[in-house]
Structure 1
Amino acid sequence: MHVLDAAVRDYAWGSPTLLPRLEGREPTGAPEAEKWLGAHPGAPSAVVGEDGSRRGLDEVIAADPEGTLGAARRFGRLPYLMKLLAAAQPLSIQAHPTLGRAREGFAQEEAAGVPADAPHRNYKDDNHKPEMIVALTPFSALCGFRRPEEATATFERVALALTEWADGDSTQVAVAARRMAVLLADEDVEGAFTDILDPASVWTAEGGVDQLVEALRGMPDLIRQDEALETALQVAEHFPGDPGVVVTLLLNRVDLQPGQAVHLPAGNVHAYLRGLGVEVMAASDNVLRGGLTDKHVDLAELRAVVEFEPMPVPYTDPEADGDGVTRYRPPFDEFELTRLSADAGRLAPTGDAPGAGVRAHVAGPAIAVATEGTAVLRCGDEAVRLTPGQSVFVPAAQTADAPLALTAEGHGRATVFVAALPSS
């Protein structure tokens, strides 16, 4: 097993307190958004040797792909990236491409000579990015399109608020809101989405979104009737004037409690709003944005990627797999997530080695991160002590020979989350 030292990304939307609180340390005052656990070239974790030496996990894998990856060699890389994600404010509204679209888009931009770090580049690599997040704290997100009739009712309320705000006049913004309601009544979700983000739209013009926000703030009774309007006002506090505020009215609001999860397939429009969670995704950085951002928005490419069919929220139901073992199995080839939880003083099952605690078999290369208590994680003859936020990489050669076993040190409970390949 290899102890990891993972990079923390300081994106502006990151929480200055959630990760420090998890890890039991003083905040620095700076935002701490994502702790990357993996071999992604954007920020590979460092493998720390007993002598203090450091090598990138990507280097360790490249030196022994058979032993480290095992069956995952078919992906040509460690197929997933794991993160601790801590959001204090909304992330950009975004969607991810299919594998075919990613390969095509990446090849086109490479052939066109678009620099890899160009701000207008859409495809950073040739991979797709299905993902899943499991909440560690109450966690809020926007996920997929609402049913058209629900969104229609919301925009009818918006048009009413804008008309009353203008003392009965039909302002351009009120007319635009009524147009949204008409499009959605005809189930033209793509038309409504496109109208909002069109560079010639009233919503992208200066003052358009501000009028909407001002009108809604003056009608608290209306806000109480519609959670989507309340969400839009909350988002507008962080992104004043951004057309993404209006896009939120098309999307499902999801509020997860700790232990609940959603998975996000290709084409799903989503935005995390706030909270701390364990996120796992295919190893990619391909993001097409659609608002709540100052980064590049390519509306044509975004429309080509997005699935406009309204669907139920894609919850990932946790599955109990023995005492202290919970599996999260999204419909993806690259990963699943296993949660191991052991109480201090738990006796080893009959026939197991002393202190074996909670056990689970995982498939292929694994990354484990502690989220609660002081954990002792074993695989075969090796053991590593982990406190919240600390992580370890377990090569496929080891997981093939022995299960992972967790015990809690001290008092209370220890919990680790383990990313690995889907198990049978």
Structure 2
Amino acid sequence: MDRLEGRLQHYDWGSRDALAHLRGASPSGLPEAELWFGAHPTAPATIDRGDGMCLDEVVAAAPDEQLGGAATLRNGTLPFLVKLLAADRPLSLQVHPDREQAAAGHAAEEAAGVAVDAPHRTFVDPHPKPELVVAVSSFRALCGFRQVEEALEVAAAFGLPDEAFSPLGPQGGGAWPEVVERLLASTDEDTARLLGTCEDLLGGPWDATATLVQEVATRSPDDPALMLVPLLVEHHLQEGEALFLGAGVLHAYLGGVAVEVMASSDNVLRAGLTNKHVDIDGVVGAIDPGAPTVAVQQPSSAAHRYDAPAEEFAVWRLAGAGLDVEERRGPEVVVGVHGATRLEGVDALCVGPGEAVWVPHVDGPYRIDAEGIAYRVTVGDGDVPSGRGFPPAPRPTTTNVVDEPR
């Protein structure tokens, strides 16, 4: 096992101090939006061996040893990416394609000769991008549509155009793609009218939704995607609570600090609230009105596995608990978010908040002890992994424990 040096991403929506505070580091002076612990070629983590070798290089040199059976999931590359995310303002409104849409979209853009780094490229790879977001602190997200009856009530209260919602009556929720397409064709006058209505609704029963629309409009007052904001469900997550986002679910993160685990893919279809490429046709085609309602997941035990039906990853939260990981199905990344986290197997390491460890498949069984809170990420499967949860073990006294946390 090896300590991972994560890669910071300085997107403009990022907090300037939240990740630094979590890690006990000095702020860089730039927005620090995400800290990546993975082998994504855009920003691979570095293996702390003193030679500056990146994780993608380590995996490529010996995929079977590093990944085990997971080497078959993404052609010998790490199938998941782990991030710490800190948002100070809303991100783009987006949806992810399913496996078939991703493969077809990628093939079409390849055949059309669209460069991989072209600004209007949508399908950078042929893979889906399911993800799980778990709150480290209070975290807010828009995720999925309101129930039809409630959505029609909201539309009437906010003066959204009746013609956009006419399909919902006869078709029910199956009409959401058509409603989205109509609302994304809204004009500047439509968005201005919405913001005027929001001002009128402040202090009333729709105050929270009106305030949310105003918050999102701060940087995008003319964006037609604003028309969709009142129709989406706002979730307020507390520490340890999670959302799983599968394909076809319209969503936007609004703010806070979280652990985000996703299949390693760059396929994002954006509806708006961004300066990046917006693909309205792609969004409309990807929205799945039959997708399961996204529910807030709460940890039920000290060693809790979240419900994340994805073959690329599985996520465990350890809170004041230990875990003997006996059967290994692939590589693992362990990220600390509070207190000390100790790992002992072939080697032994101790990490603090905002630090991570890479455990290759070849290392075999090992044990995690989290004095505070840590997350274990491995590849997905159809069954609960065979680790057994225990109270934390006493502090290891073996001399090969290295790098005590700050």
Name 1:351's counterpart in structure 2: none
Task: Name the residue aligned to 1:85.
Answer: 85
* Separation in structure 2 between the aligned mates of residue 80 and residue 370 of structure 1, nearest angstrom: 17
Deviations 1:334-386 (A, max 9, x none): 1111122337xxxxxxxxxxxxx5534453100111111122222x2311121
Q: Give the aligned residue type for 2:348.
A: A
Q: Secondary structure at the match of 1:154?
A: helix
Give the 3 Å change call, closer, same or farther, for CA 189–381 of structure 1 in structure 2: closer
Partner of 2:235, secondary structure, is strand
Quick one: which amino acid aligns to residue 310 of structure 2? F
SS of residue paired to 2:214: helix
1:111 is aligned to: 111
Given residue 373 of structure 2, which amino acid in structure 1 is its aligned partner?
T
Please show how residues 85-234 of structure 1 align to structure 2 within 5 Å: 85-159=85-159, 177-186=161-170, 187=172, 188-198=175-185, 203=186, 205-222=187-204, 224-225=205-206, 227-234=208-215
Matched AA of 1:126: P
Aligned to 2:377: 419
Q: Could you say if the C-alpha distance between residues 107 and 310 of structure 1 is closer, same or farther in structure 2, counting changes exceeding 3 Å?
A: closer
- 1:319–1:70 Cα change, 3 Å: farther
In the other structure, the counterpart of 1:405 is 368
Conservation of the 8 A alpha-carbon contact between 1:190 and 1:308: yes
Distance in structure 1 (CA, Å) of the matches to 2:46 and 2:291: 41
C-alpha spacing 1:311/1:79, structure 2 compared with 1 (3 Å): closer
**C-alpha distance in structure 1 between counterparts of 2:298 and 2:380, whole Å:** 15
**1:206 CA drift (Å):** 2.9
In structure 2, what residue type is equivalent to 1:66? Answer: D
Report how far residue 44 of structure 1 moved: 1.0
8 Å Cα contact 1:86/1:275 also seen in 2: yes
Is the contact made by 1:341 and 1:406 (CA closer than 8 Å) also made in structure 2?
no
- Say which one has the larger Rg: 1
Specify the alignment match of 1:274 in structure 2: 255
> Quick one: which amino acid aligns to residue 395 of structure 1?
P
TM-score (norm 2): 0.87
SS at match of 1:338: strand
Deviation at 1:111, TM superposition (A): 1.4
Match of 2:281 in 1: 300
Alpha-carbon contact 2:188-2:224 (below 8 Å) kept: no
Higher mean C-alpha deviation, range 27-36 or range 126-135:
27-36
The answer to whether 1:364 aligns with 2:330 is: yes
CA drift of 1:214 comes to 2.4
Task: Tell me the amino acid that sits aligned with residue 71 of structure 2.
Answer: R
1:240 Cα deviation (Å)? 1.6
Q: CA deviation at 1:319?
A: 4.7
Name 1:58's counterpart in structure 2: 56
Q: 1:382 aligns with which of 338, 341, 347?
A: 347
Name structure 2 gaps, 5 residues minimum: 384-406
Mapped to 2, the partners of 1:277 and 1:376 lie a distance apart of 21
Identity of aligned residues (%): 37
Aligned residue pairs, count: 376
Q: CA deviation at 1:208?
A: 2.9
**Is the 8 Å Cα contact of residues 152 and 182 (structure 1) preserved in structure 2?**
no
Deviates more, 1:267-276 or 1:233-242: 233-242
Return the offset for 1:84: 0.5
The structural deviation recorded for 1:232 is: 1.5
Whole-angstrom CA distance in 2 between matches of 1:34 and 1:55: 21
Relative to the length of structure 1, the TM-score reads 0.84
Deviations 1:56-111 (CA, angstroms, capped at 9, x unpaired): 11110111111110010111221111111111111101011111211111111111
Q: Within the alignment, does 1:330 sit opposite 2:311 as a pair?
A: no
Tell me, in whole angstroms, the C-alpha distance in 1 between the residues paired with 2:141 and 2:21.
21
4+ aligned runs moved over 6 Å, structure 1: none
Task: Kindly report the root-mean-square deviation, in angstroms, between the aligned alpha carbons of the 2 structures.
Answer: 1.9
